[in-house]
Amino acid sequence: MSVIHIQGMQSLNGTILIQGSKNAVLPVMAASLLHRGVTVLTNVPGIQDVFCMMGILESMGCCCRLDGRCLTIDASRADRPRVPEGLAGQMRSSVMLLGPMLGRFGEGATSHPGGCLIGSRPIDLHLSGLEALGAKVELAGGTVRVEAGPGGLTGREIALGYPSVGATENIVMAAAAARGTTVLIGAAREPEIETLCRFLQAAGAEIRGIGTGCLRITGCARFRDTVFAIPGDRIVAGTYLGAVMAAGGSVFLKGAPAGHMEANLRLAREMGAGIRIREDGGGIDASMDGRAKAASFSTGPYPGFPTDLQSVMMAVAAAGVGRSRIQETVFENRFSTAKELQNLGAHIIIDGRTALVDGRSPLRGGKVRAADLRGGAALVVAGLAAAGEVEVSGCGHIRRGYEDICRDLKEAGARIWMEEGAACEGRGGES
Ligand code: UD1
């Protein structure tokens, strides 16, 4: 078991390079299956979920090669429309292969996906969307099967009852290979969906309304070879912004996609951070003097505050001064990190979907365990503000989404290191 050790109370200074976005690269990798040819992706992060998605694509007959940050996917000989059970269990994103499998093979199957323990995470919106395009869906013994039937998929109007990110992506990918035009109303507007649409456009699909809640997708019979750059990860950038706010100091977040971090930057400013967005689009200068001020916020679909950064900002609030109130509206179980923060001396009361955080004395050292990806990163952020050594176990979760959180923070002067253990214990899923 690997453990991260942090000796906090050391301010951060310097530059941290922000990796490519996990939540953007995974659906784009899935979409590459639609094309009987070669897709080249640049700025790909070297994270566990990417390796897992490469494994899934290879099991389907694709050939994947990762050279540094450049990933080549040759899907010309893909012929097995099934996500192997072991890999589906490791990553909830495996469900996003359903749309591409339907588009490419006219059928597909996966086990009910795994995932971080942050709520019930149903997939009803994915399935009803695919059904609306003409797929038959069958659920039996933990396996989801989809089949397009002899006529293939046909575009039509679909209204989503909730702007689910994954369901939007699945429907967009299936629609990109369907006959005719699909109008998707109530689509999620997360920047990662914009990235997926831009990729599909580059590969040959016609998509209008990108960035809005209403997408018009006209399917494409033949896709083309594409070279595509994955944008910087707004959640990783927000995590390191949280790290500066917890530890104090001044850091250039190089490659942070400021234009997609409005809610995050607004909250950071309210809590006392100095934020300067570089005009050349190169990133964000973030600074913090003293402990963070209290603030209240609620998570919500984009452009609301991202649920993926809720636990990080809870850690910042717990290390700060004054009373903060946090509401989680997206995933009901996303407060599990609060209990671990309490082990570091945080004062947090959970009442349903609301957390009351009372910043008092500085956090103290202790042993804590990451229960999910972003919760694990939040514990590292808390460790940077603690008086005494913090040990975070369950680091396999963190590796799913951060290339090397210790390397990045050490780069800015943090006293942090990984004690490698036998196995990587994180299960898949996302957050
Ligand atoms: C994606 C992100 C995840 C982020 C989340 C919300 C990836 C790989 N993961 O997850 O990091 O936290 O968006 O921004 O991009 N829901 C249903 N039925 C469905 C689908 C979802 O009820 O069929 C509900 C979920 O239970 C949850 C809410 O919708 O309460 C949001 O889920 P969704 O937007 O689908 O998140 P994911 O795509 O799983």
* 22: nearest Cα among 373, 427, 376: 373
Instruction: Please report which confidence band the pLDDT of residue 218 belongs to, taking 50, 70 and 90 as the band edges.
Output: very high
Q: Whose CA is nearest to atom 3 of ligand 1?
A: 431
Q: Inform me whether the pLDDT recorded for 104 exceeds 80.
A: yes
Determine which one of 116, 197, 220, 406 is catalytic.
116
Rounded mean pLDDT of 226-237? 98
Q: How far apart are CA 149 and CA 15, in angstroms?
A: 53
Between 334 and 21, the more confident residue is 21
| CB of 162 closer than 6 angstroms to any ligand 1 atom | yes
Mean pLDDT of the chain: 94
Res 101: pLDDT: 98
Q: Whose CA is nearest to atom 38 of ligand 1?
A: 166
| CB of 171 closer than 6 angstroms to any ligand 1 atom | no
Res 351: pLDDT: 95
Pairing type for strands 38-42 and 12-17 reads unpaired
pLDDT digits (tens, 9 = 90+) for 347-356: 999 999 999 9
Q: How far apart are CA 237 and CA 257, in angstroms?
A: 8
pTM of the model: 0.96
Q: Which atom of ligand 1 is nearest to the CA of 332?
A: 30
Ramachandran region, residue 101 (left: φ > 0; alpha: ψ -120 to 50; beta: rest): alpha
Q: Inform me whether the pLDDT recorded for 420 exceeds 90.
A: no
Beta-bridge partners for 158: 184
Q: Inform me whether the pLDDT recorded for 112 exceeds 80.
A: no
Query: pLDDT exceeding 70 applies to what percent of the chain?
Result: 96
Q: Whose CA is nearest to atom 31 of ligand 1?
A: 164
Q: Whose CA is nearest to atom 20 of ligand 1?
A: 123
Q: Whose CA is nearest to atom 28 of ligand 1?
A: 330
Rounded mean pLDDT of 145-171? 95
Q: Inform me whether the pLDDT recorded for 23 exceeds 80.
A: yes
Instruction: Please report which confidence band the pLDDT of residue 149 belongs to, taking 50, 70 and 90 as the band edges.
Output: confident
The residue whose CB lies within 8 Å of the most ligand 1 atoms, and thus the one to mutate among 126, 172, 330, is 330
Between 383 and 371, the more confident residue is 383
- 116 carries an active-site annotation: yes
The residue length of the chain stands at 431
Q: Which atom of ligand 1 is nearest to the CA of 169?
A: 38
Q: Alpha helices of 158-228 — where are they, by DSSP H? A: 165-175, 191-203
Q: Which atom of ligand 1 is nearest to the CA of 125?
A: 23
Q: Which atom of ligand 1 is nearest to the CA of 127?
A: 23
Long-range pairs for 134-138 at CB < 8 Å and ≥24 separation? 134/178, 135/102, 135/174
| CB of 307 closer than 6 angstroms to any ligand 1 atom | yes
Q: How far apart are CA 106 and CA 130, in angstroms?
A: 12
Q: Inform me whether the pLDDT recorded for 316 exceeds 90.
A: yes
Could you tell me if 218 and 253 are in contact, meaning their C-beta atoms sit under 8 angstroms apart?
Answer: no
**Residue 212: how many other CB atoms lie within 10 Å:** 11
